[in-house]
Structure 1
Amino acid sequence: MKTPAELEKYFSALGAVFLTPPGALIERVRRIRALVFDWDGVFNSGVKGDGVSSTFSEADSMGTNLLRYALWRAHGKLPITVIVTGAENPSARKFAFREHFAAVYSNVLDKSEAIAAVRTAHGIDGAEIACVFDDVNDLAMAAECGLRCLVRRDASPLVQDFVAERGLCDYITAMRADRNAVREIAELLIGLLGEFDAVAASRMRFDAEYASYFSARQSVRTESLTVETRFSEALP
């Protein structure tokens, strides 16, 4: 198990920026009960075209799975995991259903509405939500969450300054979206929980504990929601 200082050294060496010290992040990570991901610019570079859908990486998929497992081990229940996207993204919906996330919210212009819906539906506080985002249209969402990770985009230094100056972010990734930034964040958070070695060893063996988690994960029924849906009525 790596210490906070060792984790800071590892990830800073990659080029990551800790806006909140790792020691303080540990307490925030321990409170997390929900994971909220933007889609374009987080799981992919956001490149689009006529008839071209966005993509995702299996390395990031494994990262989300390991992080959910680590939180399941820590709290004895699955974290609520959702994707919030401002567009209509068939790939995001496919990924959410394949991974058995709780929900995918599409065509959301004010993403803070999705955070409010998750809080209301599941009886959790904003401090219990971790948010992964990449751009200005995500900031209202990030502002409502207790732990915020910004995916680096080298073309957006002023966005990075903006979130840092206003306390809207705790961590800026070293990797860009197309270089597995989600996986980087997942490994960092698992490391801060002090769970990485145990999680990796359990998954490697596919032991009874991991099998129990996986069974619970596979039983999640994913909701696909749009802005036209009244969130508070659509979620259980």
Structure 2
Amino acid sequence: MTLDASPMPPALIERLRRVRLLALDVDGVLTDGRLEFQADGGEAKAFHTLDGHGIKLVQRAGIQVALITGRDSPMVSRRAAALGIQHLHQGIEKKLPTLHQLCQRLELDLAQVAYCGDDLPDLAPIHQAGVGISVPGAPSYIRQHADWVTEREGGFGAVREICDGLLQAQGRWDAVLDTYLHGQA
């Protein structure tokens, strides 16, 4: 529901305008959800560059980003560091209490949070966030609780779609385009 998809409903736009924190699950949202284990015991994950650039754009616009994931992965730590994500929570089975603690620390309420996830540990945050988001590959019982299901799959630009939508809803999209049109980025 961004520029290259169907228009956003006005009620969703209004809720996106209040967002000051974008909280994301990792596996199935920032990645395609597959886990690849190497013979040496290492792990590989693939992240999409579109998602990374979208995260940088929303951060420049003053929206904080958090990753809240059930797994603990050095690859996620590296990706978060590369993107300047300061709020990284790994090995979290119950995500809602972590989201509440983060909101308290940042002096935000849940109405100012957009949360994207794809599985049962994400259900409560999706349901209680100001804007609950999921991806097409999530089970239907997760998607039905989301305010927004992205057009793009997790790991293939879903997060960029969310970031672009946030910037558009908050009236910052034209400034982003102008920056790049005039070679100032």
User: Does the alignment reach a TM-score above 0.5?
Assistant: yes
Match of 2:164 among 158, 166, 187: 187
2:51 is aligned with 1:97: no
What is residue 155 of structure 2 aligned with on the other side?
Answer: 178
8 Å Cα contact 1:44/1:56 also seen in 2: yes
Q: Which has the higher helix share?
A: 1
Q: If the length of structure 2 is used for normalisation, what is the TM-score? A: 0.87
1:68-147 matches, within 5 Å, as 68-69=59-60, 72=61, 78-147=62-131
User: Which amino acid is the alignment partner of residue 86 of structure 1?
Assistant: G
Secondary structure class of the residue paired with 1:101: coil
Offset at residue 128 of structure 1 (A): 0.4
Secondary structure class of the residue paired with 1:177: coil
8 Å Cα contact 1:53/1:89 also seen in 2: no
8 Å Cα contact 2:55/2:65 also seen in 1: no
Match of 1:199 among 165, 168, 176: 176
Q: Distance in 1 between matches of 2:98 and 2:58?
A: 21
Once structures 1 and 2 are overlaid, which stretch shifts more, 124-133 or 46-55?
Answer: 46-55
Secondary structure class of the residue paired with 1:175: coil
Secondary structure class of the residue paired with 2:43: coil
| Displaced runs of 4 or more, over 3 A | 7-10, 203-207
Q: Distance in 1 between matches of 2:9 and 2:119?
A: 23
Q: Distance in 1 between matches of 2:17 and 2:31?
A: 28
Offset at residue 92 of structure 1 (A): 1.5
| CA deviation profile, 1:93-129 (whole Å, cap 9, x unmatched) | 1111111112110100000121111111111100001
8 Å Cα contact 2:36/2:45 also seen in 1: no
Q: If the length of structure 1 is used for normalisation, what is the TM-score? A: 0.69
Offset at residue 83 of structure 1 (A): 0.4
1:28-107 matches, within 5 Å, as 28-50=15-37, 51-69=42-60, 72=61, 78-107=62-91
In structure 1, stretches of 5+ residues that fail to align are 1-6, 13-17, 73-77, 211-236
Secondary structure class of the residue paired with 2:51: helix
2:144 is aligned with 1:160: no
Q: What is the number of equivalent residue pairs in this alignment? A: 181
Q: Distance in 2 between matches of 1:145 and 1:206?
A: 36
Q: Distance in 1 between matches of 2:83 and 2:93?
A: 24
In structure 2, stretches of 5+ residues that fail to align are none
